[in-house]
Chains A and B, each alone.
Chain A
């Protein structure tokens, strides 16, 4: 792997950038690998990278139905944070955030991690109570989080409508200063390049059509490029988990929904912080290019089509204009949707399955991007060691039998 730096950039400028080498190879699949990862999104590529780096397993292929990083990895709103309520989630997402914090250097690829702070708004007394509970829990887990008053929020986000007469007045909020955004495509490309450099074969345009088993043990995957034998198979396919799991007869407690996002035309900076309001279903940030990036709530119907319905967009923008009155005259440039696999407790499934050598990592719902490195890290451990890491042990498939759920719906209850 040729190192990226200002020096290599200058050196290559002299030769008109004609001597850069490819970021990753595009090999044909070998007949067999020690591990095959199904799904070339951020999580899958991170898994392959950590398998090679942390566990010395380099005889790995990542097989991807289309082109790498173009599923949910390339469709999310790029928010990174670890302000989760329950210990289990807090530890997992915090691991991920810590990996993110060193990722540009580790992978030698600027993923543009921008820790500009992630602000969650509270609009009523019930929200405030929930927020306080969450912030206290996060803090005692050793993670940064603080409560802000409405006045502090106004100072931090001047364009926010903090009028007490707003339909949903901002009564307070919580801020995770280490939260922020990263360039989503760059995360996938950086992991792909680094994994490739360690010998991982990334095989694009190679769809898995079946899982080969012998007795209770997985032996390989059938693909559009032929049979690829594998000692172990890890499935990391956001938006398609149920389809892949069905290939080994596994039924999942997962529902797949469209989740929509949009960007505005690029404008000069108006928003330095990531702002989220669960009550009115809007979250937004401003990208380095100047676009406001907005995410909506899910479309309530099930679908595998990567498009959503207009009413969700209208509802979100109404909330957004209400919260940020100056954005009314900005314009939506692009809208799109990804398919999110949602578990009943809004937490992922990362672990072993009843099929030997067959591991799963999916169900990240609406929040998978922030987990990318952490997810890859624990999944690589799980595959390499054939047992979950303590960080992902709570996120087993069995929890839906035992009832040990990690309910991250947030304020799931209602006010009296």
Chain B
């Protein structure tokens, strides 16, 4: 293991007593607790760490936070591998393993770098102009392009980790735990408001963690510690470190990604989720999201060792890691002078501070000079040299306007270039919230202007950079937000924290450094480092007419990498504005879309995967079916027994046996899943008359009636039997899959259109278990189980209901039938379901009672020609189409769908109508979904006249039967039609869609 060659001897917020081992690109290194992967790599002098997306140029670490475009790594291996992690955001833990992405065979020698040699041929959008010849070959080129693209690799196995979601309300949500955010949280917390403070880093303090600053007369970090301690002690305050606010949605709804165990590696306790998604509805939001430094763009500004000045300071101060040994600082503002001083303090030689401002004056340049660092005013770094690492820069004078270079070039040897082009307030969340941005000339960046939601931005996020102002404004914003949420400052007022004033000279807006070579000729000026977008690419896009910010982004892919352009976008807009000769604000920004930083799919999915993806609904009798080895089918959320195979039996055998048992003796089916809606109220009858096509006025108590429900378009939507239980009390049944939809449908009408109806609906599907006993011996069977219900045909006619006891259990027994046989449906409270089912099985033993599943039920009803909504109807089927005109009242003034039934096309002759089909070969069973033609052709296309909706082998009839919807079908009885399949065509004769007991003698018996 190599020693940490670039670790400073002292300082930093790392714990030198806790060394940690890690592996990068197969080599073992050591870092300390408190390191990020990036800081540990810097401490070990590892460079380059990555290759770029397109040209595969070697790249080093550029930033120290979420903005990092280059240092993208594959973290860990196996099922827990995680592609595309920013090394700057990965906290080091013992045993960490990481590797560079998108390079082969290694980051130091990458064959993909051939692209860099071909770069002249690969300008922005080159792929739109080529790969078109020969026609149809695109997918062959694409094969290689796809393999070359992409960064990291997806895991090959399912995710072993768990993710949780938390829902909460906050009076004030403070985003960002830097000085402004801490001050805001303190102010709001002291009012007693419920405050959440979320920060993406592992500890609070934000930029203060870099050290150096003073607050309230002492070290800033002491103030941070005191502030955090005070907040922790407040009952209504919740502190969320390692928690990035990712999305800002309507109505102050925000998402926070809390990384619970990511920083623990293998030491993560098994009882904790890997991450939590907090979904916060906030009364008020304070955005203290800070700012991101932006680079200055010069020739070959992508060499490893060229980094943001603030990042260099962070590595030195916070992590005691030396990003280089001889630095050049290149800045257009005062902030990087502080960096130069920090570097010098840490023993890093600062060769020069290069500043495009003609005469950098003020305290910071003065202190820098006093320290013996050369300050080159009115000059710029025009180019960088070096291969795997920057070795030197060229410095030249700038003309007055900054548009050209003057004088001789001076070569300055260095292995670190710290760049600062000013600061971009982090306005992503503000922009997501719908807020309008304003371009600030002094800052040369976008700042929040008009809020769209209950939100305020403070500190650097609002363009306020002086620490004293950040603290004052943050404190004030915390008080304001709390007050607006209804919490006033109470007790003695506490003053805002104070910091000494700082004097800084204004920055000189400066984006792209001119050079002696025309842009785009030979050297590359990178704007988007991850996607390899250069100034020349932007110029090309503009030249070709892609002049809006959105077109530019889409044409060049600028800002579309995993960093979403956090450091490059504003620079890109500045270049665009210069090229189209418009000011930056009129060029505008592209839309900031959620999330701020990428959010895991697994986290957003939460626990709703696997068995919990959707609730599985099981009937009270489910266990019995399982014990008997039933095969199940999914119907909506329900598991329904499909058939009950006996040992050695095929599905076909089992279903035939079940069908014959029902026809010849008695069968029993678990019909509990049918939707049941309890309807009560004086206007229940009016509701039924509105939603069903038939009239309900004369239905007597204790009688049942079948109803068809239509959509507003007149098409069949659902069907079922409704029973009048009492004067104002009905029980409606629906299809299994349609139950929820029908309830929602009825409620929609009641709540939006028929507010005057006095009626209440309750879903009681799961309150009742339904045991359907069907077959010629059903009455005999049931008579053994009940003594208080007269089961005789006279006393208990078809389509009626009797209440009594069955097997000693209070029950409602319905005499209805979906099989065409004498049939009783016993409804008992669900908790009695299993007992009653068992009682039925026992009482039925002597009749050979046979449990049957949905497949047999489907066949039995098809033999009778009963429709199944969704099979014989498809949302384009009217009652008349399925031969049910008889159920459409001609007398009722109105019902849902009535008007549509009279539309010309709905009322016309020759629509697709329900028929039966009898194959010429009675043994041939048509496939369901087969399309029907009148005249088969040799090959498609063929004119279709209908389709097979249901098709079965009928054991009772000893032949196949099918139902079909056929154009003009009602008049086609007796015609032969054809169903062309792959390899053969089956012919069938159109018939009545009733194959068994058409008069209905059996079910009335």
B630 CB to closest chain A CB (Å) equals: 15
CB contact between A267 and one of B84, B121, B593, B931 (< 8 Å): that residue:
B84
How many Å lie between the Cα of A108 and that of B128 in the bound state?
A: 9
Q: Is B605 in contact with A320, judged by CB distance below 8 angstroms?
A: yes
CB contact between A416 and one of B142, B869, B933 (< 8 Å): that residue:
B869
Residue numbers in A under 8 Å from B927 (CB-CB): 132
How many Å lie between the Cα of A329 and that of B131 in the bound state?
A: 34
Residue numbers in A under 8 Å from B159 (CB-CB): 321, 325-326, 328-329
A186 CB to closest chain B CB (Å) equals: 6
How many Å lie between the Cα of A24 and that of B454 in the bound state?
A: 43
Q: Is A413 in contact with B540, judged by CB distance below 8 angstroms?
A: no
Contact mask for chain A residues 309-339; partner B; CB cutoff 8 A; 1 contact, 0 none: 1100111011111100111111111111000
Q: Is B253 in contact with A403, judged by CB distance below 8 angstroms?
A: no
Which of A5-13, A210-218, A231-239 lies at the interface?
A5-13
CB contact between A403 and one of B138, B147, B593, B905 (< 8 Å): that residue:
B905
B611 within 8 A of A: yes
Residue numbers in A under 8 Å from B21 (CB-CB): none
Q: Is B635 in contact with A310, judged by CB distance below 8 angstroms?
A: no
Residue numbers in A under 8 Å from B518 (CB-CB): 16
A114 within 8 A of B: yes
Q: Is A327 in contact with B601, judged by CB distance below 8 angstroms?
A: yes
Contact mask for chain B residues 622-637; partner A; CB cutoff 8 A; 1 contact, 0 none: 0000000000011110
Q: Is A137 in contact with B609, judged by CB distance below 8 angstroms?
A: no
Q: Is A22 in contact with B605, judged by CB distance below 8 angstroms?
A: no
Of the four ranges (under 10, 10 to 19, 20 to 34, 35 or more), the interface on chain A belongs to: 35 or more
Q: Is B604 in contact with A332, judged by CB distance below 8 angstroms?
A: yes
Q: Is A330 in contact with B601, judged by CB distance below 8 angstroms?
A: yes
Residue numbers in A under 8 Å from B551 (CB-CB): 67, 69-70
CB contact between A329 and one of B130, B600, B614, B929 (< 8 Å): that residue:
B600
Q: Is B905 in contact with A264, judged by CB distance below 8 angstroms?
A: no
A344 within 8 A of B: yes
Residue numbers in B under 8 Å from A24 (CB-CB): 545
How many Å lie between the Cα of A130 and that of B872 in the bound state?
A: 11
How many Å lie between the Cα of A167 and that of B555 in the bound state?
A: 41
Q: Is A133 in contact with B132, judged by CB distance below 8 angstroms?
A: no
Contact mask for chain A residues 386-416; partner B; CB cutoff 8 A; 1 contact, 0 none: 0000000000000101111101010111111
Residue numbers in A under 8 Å from B602 (CB-CB): 321, 328-329
Which of A49-57, A118-126, A368-376 lies at the interface?
A118-126
Whether A326 contacts B157 in the complex (CB less than 8 A), given A22-B545, A110-B130, A412-B874, comes out as: yes
A328 CB to closest chain B CB (Å) equals: 3
Residue numbers in B under 8 Å from A209 (CB-CB): none
Residue numbers in B under 8 Å from A142 (CB-CB): 940-941
Residue numbers in A under 8 Å from B544 (CB-CB): 20-23
Contact mask for chain A residues 130-159; partner B; CB cutoff 8 A; 1 contact, 0 none: 111111110111100000000000000001
Q: Which chain A residue shows the least CB distance to B149? A: A290
Which of B461-469, B731-739, B808-816, B989-997 lies at the interface?
B731-739
B585 within 8 A of A: no
How many Å lie between the Cα of A341 and that of B35 in the bound state?
A: 52
B333 within 8 A of A: no
Residue numbers in A under 8 Å from B900 (CB-CB): 403
B648 within 8 A of A: no
How many Å lie between the Cα of A279 and that of B520 in the bound state?
A: 51
Residue numbers in B under 8 Å from A47 (CB-CB): none
How many Å lie between the Cα of A17 and that of B537 in the bound state?
A: 9
Q: Is A23 in contact with B595, judged by CB distance below 8 angstroms?
A: no
Q: Is B633 in contact with A115, judged by CB distance below 8 angstroms?
A: no
CB contact between B83 and one of A23, A74, A330 (< 8 Å): that residue:
A330
How many Å lie between the Cα of A309 and that of B249 in the bound state?
A: 7
CB contact between B149 and one of A189, A266, A403, A407 (< 8 Å): that residue:
A266
Q: Is B605 in contact with A140, judged by CB distance below 8 angstroms?
A: no
How many Å lie between the Cα of A123 and that of B609 in the bound state?
A: 16
Contact mask for chain B residues 837-872; partner A; CB cutoff 8 A; 1 contact, 0 none: 000000000000000001000100000000011110
B123 within 8 A of A: yes
Q: Is B605 in contact with A321, judged by CB distance below 8 angstroms?
A: yes
Q: Is B139 in contact with A290, judged by CB distance below 8 angstroms?
A: no
Residue numbers in A under 8 Å from B737 (CB-CB): 126, 414-416
A105 within 8 A of B: yes
B438 within 8 A of A: no
Whether A325 contacts B550 in the complex (CB less than 8 A), given A139-B940, A288-B145, comes out as: no
B819 CB to closest chain A CB (Å) equals: 13
A240 within 8 A of B: no
Q: Is B545 in contact with A114, judged by CB distance below 8 angstroms?
A: no
Q: Which chain A residue shows the least CB distance to B255? A: A310
How many Å lie between the Cα of A329 and that of B161 in the bound state?
A: 9
CB contact between A5 and one of B132, B135, B253, B854 (< 8 Å): that residue:
B132
B798 CB to closest chain A CB (Å) equals: 21
Whether A317 contacts B155 in the complex (CB less than 8 A), given A110-B127, A123-B634, comes out as: no
Segment 252-309 of A: residues with Cβ below 8 Å from B: 264-270, 280, 286, 288-290, 307, 309
CB contact between B635 and one of A124, A129, A186, A334 (< 8 Å): that residue:
A124
Q: Is A413 in contact with B874, judged by CB distance below 8 angstroms?
A: yes
CB contact between B941 and one of A116, A129, A132, A141 (< 8 Å): that residue:
A141
Residue numbers in B under 8 Å from A169 (CB-CB): 634
B82 within 8 A of A: yes
How many Å lie between the Cα of A377 and that of B321 in the bound state?
A: 63
How many Å lie between the Cα of A139 and that of B900 in the bound state?
A: 32
Q: Which chain B residue shows the least CB distance to A167? A: B613
Residue numbers in A under 8 Å from B933 (CB-CB): 140
A285 CB to closest chain B CB (Å) equals: 12
Please, could you name 26 A-B residue pairs with CB atoms under 8 Å apart, sorted by A? A74-B550, A105-B132, A110-B129, A112-B138, A114-B138, A124-B634, A125-B634, A132-B927, A142-B941, A159-B154, A265-B151, A266-B84, A266-B151, A267-B153, A307-B249, A319-B613, A325-B158, A328-B600, A329-B81, A329-B154, A330-B154, A330-B600, A407-B715, A414-B736, A415-B636, A416-B635
B residues sitting closer than 8 Å to A (CB atoms) are 80-84, 120-121, 123, 126-133, 135, 138-139, 142, 145-147, 149-159, 161, 247, 249-250, 253, 255, 279, 518, 520-521, 536, 540, 543-548, 550-551, 554-555, 557, 562, 564, 591, 593-595, 598-602, 604-606, 608-611, 613-614, 616, 633-636, 642, 713-715, 718, 735-738, 741, 854, 858, 868-871, 873-876, 900, 903-907, 927-931, 933, 940-942, 944, 947-948, 980-982
